[in-house]
Structure 1
């Protein structure tokens, strides 16, 4: 019986829960703790102050990864959870949008995932980029404040309240399903929200607004670095051939590349490589050493205490997220020496070869965890030739992403072979320009880190108001900004 967690519930209490749920997980102690807190604290239900609208089931066959002229950008689960970058949003045609009677997002729209694995279901994010006409699909809900309510100061405050752990745990509890969890109307409407004073809400709104300003500044600086790279590589105005037909003889095709698939020989790929190789450049294998991690297998995964295990879905070019999986302490202990050697150190570039291929991220501190075998570890051979921040930007740019698009194969999951990655061509621009770009990249990540810190302060303040009182929360905000 050691380690067994037991809670005892009276049968009479079952009439107050959704669908008379009686599975043991529903009565996990962390969920019962939330019940206890809101039995003491004043609260309001989601239904009293807010409502939500489901997205439309757009025909995925009509999705495009590139902007369609007069098309609509579609937010999906990965966009809300930020496991996809903004560049990966898909687009649908205006006609498909009209046929499904879709609606457009406006700035400060709150988006919530309605389906997914337990870590992802019920996650929220704010849409603050109205520069591109956008909508959302059926697996996502747009949440908004009701017109006739006066309890919530702003959508930003509602967003941060929905982001706190007590709301997240309620939604995790209410979500139904075995393999994939789903949130229904009754799950969201009964959600208990803390009743916060106007004074605290005003301070929270100001804090979140400052966070979004920093986020906007970060994007501007990062985009400037990208523009400098393309300008120095002579690619800022390059228009690539869109022809889908290219005639090749056997000698110049299969005998050189070993590939017979027609997509590989599209002219745009030849043009991008040709343009890079007409200037100073080198292959990736000459610039970095490449190593890979291990694939322990799902038998060693745990959601309890363990070593963080980072997979491709746990990072993108903008940063790392909390990994969904950990490795069991038994596995870590049995492979202690190997795991210590596999932990990526500061300065390592993570580079994905499976799934979302070609995503590069520079570690700015040692990583307490290991990565999956789908993530390569790149170490710069000579920083006097190429600066890590510059190389990462080049790897994430269309200069390399188009080479990944050309090479990667796989009917369900894309796979980029290590031998192909080694031969990727990278432009080597003037070192002073590299330094200028590196400074911009570091400034952009400093702004991003500050934006994230301010959001965390706001979340923590809400939790303090729930666990203790608002005076403690306000003192914490004053101390942290």
Structure 2
């Protein structure tokens, strides 16, 4: 049995009586930090904590499309860098009113609710922006921010923030929890060595995004949709035959933006997703088994750049629990994965990462391509506006939107020349390699922080 023996003075000093706070793992980390002789509490570093605006200060219904002023939500805060896959923006007047919450380059953002303790650094590409109450910002020139973000994401920063989390159902960190975090502040030279890794990782990460954007641009240019703007007409003329074919009578289905995209695809060689796949469907949800060896993939693991977050797999099953008819859904290399709910139409491609055996959950549809279709090309297309609008047209449900596999089979896919498909696929592969390099550099930065601490 794992246990710790704590003196009464330690209990009073920490203002915590719960056993979780005194787990041996946390005590070892704190002991290692104390041995370095270079520890400060976060509150004692010269800097400024900024808490986000209360939810009542901004109504999320006021988001604007393609605005100038970004609103950074709690879910945008990821390890090291903010995600920009699903940005939202606020009107100019709201930004001006809430400008005291605006972010500056080099600010550190820490999530304090939801998944507390995630830390990101703000770069100039994010600005102008404000942040929500789901995070706390920290601004300082007393410690290298790129070193600091590596420390917060190292086992020391992450675990000791985890130690301070409060609550059972709704967990969180308050401002004093952050201020009481012990910070290892080595010599400026050592900070610079770690910071270099993080800055190089950011360069590789930006290169990855640029390469993927080039792939999208090349595809849309080939379709003549690079400057596509959905029509603003509030009406459309539809023939009775079209209503019968679609088996839909709602006006939403016959919006002109959908017809514009479909007409463009039909003008060139094309197929349906069903025609280029051996099957399109999803498995029933297999029961979980914590000792299982088959990972269960959910939408949260899927990224819009087609990658899969294999490190995020947290549920498993085994072969005996998968129904006989569902065994074909155990993933094969180059399978197309499409989210049916949550964010219907979100597409990723399974590339056999680490040889892991994986089966998707019931809300992820598998399209197993055949007839020479290039999976990375198809994946890029489905995530462009031309793919997303086709999925959107087939949404069912008002509260929980859903796209059925039977409708996914009818999604039109343009068949561009093999040379163009391969060029797009190659750009995606280069993008993934750049992201892999970024990840390796960040892991090295965390390792350097830990080695600096443990070498003392």
Q: What TM-score, normalized by structure 1, do the two folds share?
A: 0.84
> Hey, what does 1:335 align to over in structure 2?
321
> Hey, what does 1:477 align to over in structure 2?
none
Q: Distance in 2 between matches of 1:103 and 1:205?
A: 26
SS in 2 for 1:317: coil
Conservation of the 8 A alpha-carbon contact between 1:358 and 1:401? yes
> Hey, what does 2:42 align to over in structure 1?
46
71, 77, 99: which one aligns with 2:74: 77
SS in 2 for 1:177: coil
Residues 277-322 of structure 1, C-alpha deviations (whole Å, 9 max, x = no match): 111111101112324244246xx476x9975433211221233333
Cα drift, residue 186 of structure 1: 0.8
Conservation of the 8 A alpha-carbon contact between 1:111 and 1:140? yes
Cα drift, residue 364 of structure 1: 2.6
163, 186, 194: which one aligns with 1:196: 186
Note if 1:123 corresponds to 2:122: no
Q: Distance in 1 between matches of 2:126 and 2:174?
A: 31
388, 408, 411: which one aligns with 1:424: 411
SS in 2 for 1:423: coil
> Hey, what does 2:175 align to over in structure 1?
185
Conservation of the 8 A alpha-carbon contact between 2:104 and 2:127? no
| Cα separation, partners in 2 of 1:420 and 1:341, compared to 1, 3 Å | closer
> Hey, what does 2:436 align to over in structure 1?
449
Cα drift, residue 185 of structure 1: 0.6
Conservation of the 8 A alpha-carbon contact between 2:335 and 2:368? yes
SS in 2 for 1:243: coil
> Hey, what does 1:97 align to over in structure 2?
95
> Hey, what does 1:402 align to over in structure 2?
389
Conservation of the 8 A alpha-carbon contact between 2:294 and 2:319? no
Q: Distance in 1 between matches of 2:424 and 2:76?
A: 27
251, 258, 269: which one aligns with 1:269: 258
* Farther off after superposition, 395-404 or 244-253: 244-253
RMSD: 2.7
Note if 1:459 corresponds to 2:446: yes
Q: Distance in 1 between matches of 2:21 and 2:448?
A: 27
Q: Distance in 1 between matches of 2:275 and 2:16?
A: 59
Cα drift, residue 28 of structure 1: 3.0
Conservation of the 8 A alpha-carbon contact between 1:73 and 1:132? yes
Conservation of the 8 A alpha-carbon contact between 2:77 and 2:83? no
Note if 1:390 corresponds to 2:361: no
Cα drift, residue 159 of structure 1: 0.9
| Cα separation, partners in 2 of 1:387 and 1:293, compared to 1, 3 Å | same
Note if 1:60 corresponds to 2:60: yes
SS in 2 for 1:378: strand
Gaps of 5+ in 1: 470-481
Cα drift, residue 157 of structure 1: 0.8
SS in 2 for 1:325: coil
| Cα separation, partners in 2 of 1:181 and 1:129, compared to 1, 3 Å | same
> Hey, what does 1:479 align to over in structure 2?
none
Residues 77-113 of structure 1, C-alpha deviations (whole Å, 9 max, x = no match): 2221279962411111111222334543333332221
Conservation of the 8 A alpha-carbon contact between 2:70 and 2:126? no
Gaps of 5+ in 2: none
SS in 2 for 1:215: helix
Note if 1:160 corresponds to 2:160: no
Conservation of the 8 A alpha-carbon contact between 1:54 and 1:140? yes
* Farther off after superposition, 369-378 or 4-13: 4-13
SS in 1 for 2:264: helix
| Cα separation, partners in 2 of 1:6 and 1:337, compared to 1, 3 Å | farther
* Farther off after superposition, 205-214 or 334-343: 334-343
> Hey, what does 2:108 align to over in structure 1?
110
26, 29, 32: which one aligns with 1:34: 29
| Cα separation, partners in 2 of 1:101 and 1:211, compared to 1, 3 Å | closer
> Hey, what does 2:315 align to over in structure 1?
326
Note if 1:286 corresponds to 2:275: yes
> Hey, what does 1:472 align to over in structure 2?
none
* Farther off after superposition, 134-143 or 307-316: 307-316
Q: What TM-score, normalized by structure 2, do the two folds share?
A: 0.88
